[in-house]
Amino acid sequence: MDYIRGLHNCTGFTPGSPTGFRAARDKNFSRVESLRLTNIYVALERNVVTRQRPGTHDLRASMSILASARCVEYLDRVMEVDHYENFPVASILLPKRLRAPVGVIYHVARTADDIADEGVFDPAERHARLADFRAGLDAVAAGQPAPVHPMLFEKLAGTVSQYGLPLGPFYDLVSAFDQDIDTTRYADWPALMDYCRRSANPVGRLMLHLFHASTPENLADSDAICTALQLINFWQDVGIDWKKSRIYMPLCDLERFGVTERHIDEQICDDAWRALMRHEVDHARAMIVGGAPLAVRMPGRFGLELCSVVHGGLRILEKIEQADYDVFRKRPVLKGPDWVVIGMRSLAMRLRGRVGVQLRSVES
């Protein structure tokens, strides 16, 4: 699942204490930078958490995407999925009562993704195994024992029953994984957005349902953030995806800007490529900024966490621009100084109640 793996690239930090974040696996994050960033979050928590109105602590459960996208330390210990270290999480921000259901959601998504993308199976076998997995979801819906992965689906059935989760998002994930086996190009934006709707958005939607916060406004903003993060990962990993024979940029955009697959194969970064990348970066930036109101209206550490995710994604886009759009030779990664910038911008976002980013017009 490119969305799950890509979140770490945009927001790859993990909480090291209740009062601050440490860089995840970044050897360049100095002790001074770590202390500076921790102080930023301490100051923010004092301004945000202590000023909540009586009873608003219950709204921590209304956070969306980050409850699912930020708990890998906890989940890796529980499920021993050590090769999924790129799934960033913040178990410290999850209420203890919700860690088990989040773990089940994560395990279901990872298992289905492995069927589609791991191992040495041929496409026909992957499709067949995903069909079996879909039959497991059917069994959960019917209240029957699953024919495959019986323990996993038994846990899912209990979680769905206890928390009233819809099964639709799980079917969407399986559908997207199934599509990823054969589909390596997207003709236009509607086709790519339909893929993102099923591959990126379900996790955020499930978390909103889990936290009883699935209002239309929250769902729309969560979808925007989830899809934008996936797009950012696509733009960041053009070269990596090419090695898998995949291009996620809409082909209509390549044609519009005079870019061919030869540009990617030979890593040509000319004016045409830069114009294409500028357009794609602007599109993703507008989308994630469009979903940012979810972060500013959510109180406490969950709101702070989502502000950081938004600015983590925006920082990756900045670094693509700083590299003059040459993602082949200068694939953007976040280092120590970037986290200080993200922390300061998250603080400003929380205090001002807006993301504070100027957008260029995006021509369709």
Q: Indicate the pLDDT class of residue 354, thresholds 50, 70 and 90.
A: confident
Instruction: Tell me the CATH number for domain 2-352.
Output: 1.10.600.10
pLDDT at 342 exceeding the cut of 50 = yes
Alpha helices of the chain — where are they, by DSSP H? 2-11, 31-48, 65-69, 72-79, 96-117, 123-142, 150-163, 168-182, 189-199, 201-210, 216-236, 238-242, 251-256, 261-265, 271-291, 293-297, 300-322, 336-352
pLDDT at 227 exceeding the cut of 90 = yes
Do 300 and 67 touch, CB atoms closer than 8 A? no
Q: Which tens digit of pLDDT belongs to each residue from 273-295?
A: 999 999 999 999 999 999 999 98
Q: Which tens digit of pLDDT belongs to each residue from 37-61?
A: 444 444 444 444 444 443 333 333 3
Domain ranges of the chain: 2-352
This prediction's pTM: 0.76
Question: What's the average model confidence in pLDDT over 211-218?
Answer: 88
Q: Indicate the pLDDT class of residue 359, thresholds 50, 70 and 90.
A: confident
| Per-residue pLDDT at 79 | 33
323 vs 7 pLDDT, higher one: 323
13 vs 170 pLDDT, higher one: 170
Alpha helices of 12-122 — where are they, by DSSP H? 31-48, 65-69, 72-79, 96-117
pLDDT at 268 exceeding the cut of 60 = yes
355 vs 257 pLDDT, higher one: 257
